[in-house]
Amino acid sequence: QESKISNPPKAVVNLVNWVFNPDTVIYIKIITAFIVFNRK
């Protein structure tokens, strides 16, 4: 069980790397701005 905690599933690692990726942050900001402008 300890090995599972110290070595999380690759999918989780990929998700974390994706979330903290600066390019992803910019992508989310663009999507958010797109949604906001579509509401007006």
Q: What is the chain's pLDDT, residue by residue, as a tens digit (40 residues)?
A: 566 567 778 998 888 888 888 888 899 899 999 999 998 7
> Which residue range forms the structural domain that includes residue 28?
2-39
pLDDT score recorded for residue 31: 94
Q: How many domains does the chain have?
A: 1
Question: CA 29 to CA 40: how far, in whole Å?
Answer: 17
Tokens at residue 2, please? Answer: 């300890």
pLDDT score recorded for residue 5: 60
pLDDT score recorded for residue 29: 93
- Name the pTM for this structure: 0.43
pLDDT score recorded for residue 3: 62
pLDDT score recorded for residue 30: 93
